[in-house]
Structure 1
Amino acid sequence: MPIASPRLRQELEVIRGMDDIPLIFDPVTGSYHRITRAGEVVLSYLDGSRTREELVELFAGDDTGHAEKLRAQIDGFLATLESSGLLDGTGPPPGAGQAGRRVKTSRMMPRVVITRKLPVLLEPVAGVLRRMSATVLVGVFAVGAIAGFCLGLTTLFTRMPNLTHIIGPPFLVAAALQLLLVLCHETCHALVAQVLKVPVRGLGVALLFYFMPVAYVDRTDAYRHKGKGGRITLAMAGVMSDGWWCGVVGLVALNTHGFVQQSLAFLLAMQLMGLVINLNPLLPSDGFVALETAFGSVDARGRAFTLIKSRLLRREPPAYLAALSRGKRAGLTLYGAISAAYTCLVAYGAFRGVPAVVGMAVKAVQG
């Protein structure tokens, strides 16, 4: 039953975040909820002293002809707040994560937080970087990353031996080194977040779609940063780190031979695979986040899958999605369907490839 006199929970924080968009932050779940500027105005009157009808009368004024349309809009907005657990007398929605939990699952991704100490460790470095020109820093690192990828991949395809002929211990060494580079990748995300004063919540590991192991840093609080350029840099920081390391690995591989060169050849192949994954717009990748930020979109994947779920379950979509034009809903649905099909294809390929990877590892140990 709808709440008669709606009141916003007192512990909630209403802020202006990315692209100056109004957001509600829930400290209990650690989630941000996007609202419209009109919704932001309505929030200021949700103190429990007015009924829904009184709210309609307040905003409609003497325009009785507009009252019915306004009533539907306010009811839809309040229903969204209620279903999200943002009004007094409501609980968090089913499956909502609790802020601070070390193990949780969201969006088909079980996660385990390993440490929350990165902000403390990175602040001294971030403090130094804040005093430098952001434009120059980003420019240097971007150019260096592009050059590094070009050097590393050219080395892999033109100067390295055939990997199928050198399976053995070099594969294990490359895998161990790749884990270190992944840690560096995520640390760079965390460092940029620290420079922007939106520190990460933790460093952890996860299973993307329950089958793909990934490392991650929780950058949820990046929603608080208004600047688009800063958020694009945050999204691409890990890829830029990968580019520099790819160049270093390629340079060393060119000047070595034997076991070391063979190990670095495998490492370059792994870095190429990582680049493809990190720039893939059909996965929740760094490249996808950068594109989303550049075009001013918010959680396009989440919206797409919510629409598909509503269609499959024959339910009405949430009010914020129902308000979108038919063309935008169709576009999101199409993107979600293609992403889901691609994910299934990746999962099939991953499971088909398990025996080959196990065989390589066994040969590496025996070799």
Structure 2
Amino acid sequence: MTDTTYDRPRLRSEVVLGPALRSGPRTVHHVKDARTGGYYRVGPREHFLMGLMDGRHTLADIGRRYTEVYDRRLGPEHWQQVFTLLGRYQLLDGHADDAGLDQLKQAYEGKQSAQQGWLRRRWVLLSPDPLCATLARRLAFAFHAAFLVPAFVLVVAVQVFVWTHVATLTHEATHQKSRAITLLLSALVLWGITVLHEFAHGVTCRHFGGTVTEIGLSWRFPLLTPYCRTDDIVLFQRRRDRVGTAFAGVFVSLLALAPVVVWWWLSGDGVLGRPLAAGLLLFGSGAAVMNLLPILRSDGYVMLTHALNIADLRRESYRFWQLKLRRRDPAARERLSGYPPRDIRAYAVYGVVSLLLLLSAYGALMWVWFSSLQHWVGPVWAVTILGAETAAVAGILSLAARGRSGRRRAADG
């Protein structure tokens, strides 16, 4: 590339480069364009070149540094490929126009909308970034060890109390006279804790330099759950910042149970507050434990994914096991040979453990439903109904998987 306008290339100020993450046998970096909202993935060599495009390095400087690191010289055709990529997404300062950026933004938003359907949908309730920014400034003390260590000790103490008094709490929560009022109040308090949970993700993300675009409800068959969109987590350079952002919601939810213990302790027998507090402690603690299990895009899953420095643990484990089951195919064996041993262990163990957890949870759910149904329709019809339900769920999930696979192939094409 001989054009002098590219002699000292510089990325636009809205472009942010993320850290190295593993994706199957490859290493990838996320690149965000804050102007369009788009996220892109590039390889380590493209990331290296883009990291030097700060307006101070000439093409000769960048090429020399590239040769020192990768032992390979960049020729004109290589520079042409690099600038074609940057131009396609208008990432270079001085070589982007508003119309083109608006078009990229619309394309990204259209892609996001196309991913929604009756099996997967989001309803945005709030754009919380300004509020999260304000809270992050005012709660900066909460990110220091002087607060975090005592708070963590308190959380552990509360959980020790709950699980060592589980029989008492269960009896008090289930044996009560004002069940309807208690359930209503419990739902209101738990929704309040859920709001704190989601804002904890957003405030933590903002503290570490990210933006928080959405808080709302997410439908992922068969679950309807609240969510806080913290996509910028993939841009945080430090692993602990990514893991901390994912853990913040559960941590605050558990911390919110500390005053509930005091409430339970001060409430006498027969007082409405005691069974209400018992139910909150049981359900709140159980929900937090479930959220820490690294399955179904839970907070625990995101924590584990970033603790391992992997881009998408579930998807990559699925791809790994697909190749593993086709290992007699030479192409599959060749692709498997490129996986680092550490990642092979991670994908193999996660695939087996997550499958066992899901089967155990589904088996427990089927047993509970069978126990209820057999009293109404008898054991034979109960088994028939649950078998038909299982087949229907399997069919729906299979169709959803095929749809996602088709969309990915279309995007790759």
TM-score where L is the length of structure 1: 0.66
Show the 5 A alignment for 1:24-63. Answer: 24-25=31-32, 30-33=38-41, 35-36=43-44, 38-41=45-48
Q: Does the CA contact (< 8 Å) of 1:25 and 1:31 recur in 2?
A: yes
Instruction: State how far apart, in whole Å, the 2-side matches of 1:355 and 1:263 are.
Output: 29
1:228 aligns with 2:239: yes
Instruction: State how far apart, in whole Å, the 1-side matches of 2:175 and 2:342 are.
Output: 52
Higher mean alpha-carbon deviation, 21-30 vs 121-130, is at 21-30
The one-letter code of the counterpart of 1:304 is: S
Show the 5 A alignment for 1:268-287. Answer: 268-287=281-300
Equivalent residue for 2:381? none
Equivalent residue for 2:409? none
Inter-CA distance 340–13: structure 2 relative to 1 (3 Å threshold)? farther
C-alpha displacement at 1:100, in angstroms? Answer: 9.5
What are the ranges of 5 or more consecutive residues in structure 1 without an aligned counterpart?
1-9, 45-58, 61-65, 68-73, 89-95, 359-367
Instruction: State how far apart, in whole Å, the 2-side matches of 1:276 and 1:22 are.
Output: 31
Counterpart of 2:132 (choices 112, 122, 130) is 122
1:323 aligns with 2:335: no
Equivalent residue for 2:263? 252
Count of matched residue positions in the alignment of Structure 1 and Structure 2 = 318
SS at match of 1:176: helix
C-alpha displacement at 1:212, in angstroms? Answer: 2.3
C-alpha displacement at 1:242, in angstroms? Answer: 1.8
SS at match of 1:296: coil
Inter-CA distance 122–334: structure 2 relative to 1 (3 Å threshold)? closer
Percent sequence identity over aligned pairs: 18
Q: Does the CA contact (< 8 Å) of 2:124 and 2:217 recur in 1?
A: yes
Instruction: State how far apart, in whole Å, the 2-side matches of 1:99 and 1:135 are.
Output: 43
1:113 aligns with 2:124: yes
> Which whole-Å deviations, capped at 9, do the CAs of 1:282-313 have from their partners, x for residues lacking one?
44322332233333333212211233456789
Structure with the higher helix share, 1 or 2: 2
Equivalent residue for 1:180? 192
Q: Does the CA contact (< 8 Å) of 1:104 and 1:111 recur in 2?
A: no
Instruction: State how far apart, in whole Å, the 2-side matches of 1:351 and 1:166 are.
Output: 27
Q: Greater relative contact order (Cα 8 A, min sep 6): structure 1 or 2? A: 1
Instruction: State how far apart, in whole Å, the 1-side matches of 2:282 and 2:351 are.
Output: 30
C-alpha displacement at 1:133, in angstroms? Answer: 6.3
Q: Does the CA contact (< 8 Å) of 1:186 and 1:216 recur in 2?
A: yes
Counterpart of 1:293 (choices 292, 306, 314) is 306
The one-letter code of the counterpart of 1:136 is: A
C-alpha displacement at 1:120, in angstroms? Answer: 1.5
The one-letter code of the counterpart of 2:194 is: V
C-alpha displacement at 1:131, in angstroms? Answer: 6.8
Equivalent residue for 2:219? 207
Instruction: State how far apart, in whole Å, the 2-side matches of 1:87 and 1:352 are.
Output: 56
Higher mean alpha-carbon deviation, 13-22 vs 250-259, is at 13-22
C-alpha displacement at 1:240, in angstroms? Answer: 1.6
Inter-CA distance 29–195: structure 2 relative to 1 (3 Å threshold)? closer
C-alpha displacement at 1:274, in angstroms? Answer: 0.9
Larger Rg: 2
Counterpart of 2:229 (choices 202, 214, 218) is 218
1:151 aligns with 2:161: yes
C-alpha displacement at 1:354, in angstroms? Answer: 6.5
SS at match of 1:98: helix
Cα RMSD after superposing both structures: 4.9
SS at match of 2:256: helix
TM-score where L is the length of structure 2: 0.60
Q: Does the CA contact (< 8 Å) of 1:186 and 1:215 recur in 2?
A: yes
Inter-CA distance 356–272: structure 2 relative to 1 (3 Å threshold)? farther
> Which whole-Å deviations, capped at 9, do the CAs of 1:111-146 have from their partners, x for residues lacking one?
322211x22223222122347763323324322322
> Which whole-Å deviations, capped at 9, do the CAs of 1:34-91 have from their partners, x for residues lacking one?
532x3435779xxxxxxxxxxxxxx99xxxxx99xxxxxx9xx99xx9xxx9799xxx
SS at match of 1:120: helix
Instruction: State how far apart, in whole Å, the 1-side matches of 2:137 and 2:316 are.
Output: 36
C-alpha displacement at 1:217, in angstroms? Answer: 0.6
Q: Does the CA contact (< 8 Å) of 2:246 and 2:299 recur in 1?
A: yes
Q: Does the CA contact (< 8 Å) of 2:162 and 2:282 recur in 1?
A: no
Instruction: State how far apart, in whole Å, the 1-side matches of 2:336 and 2:116 are.
Output: 24
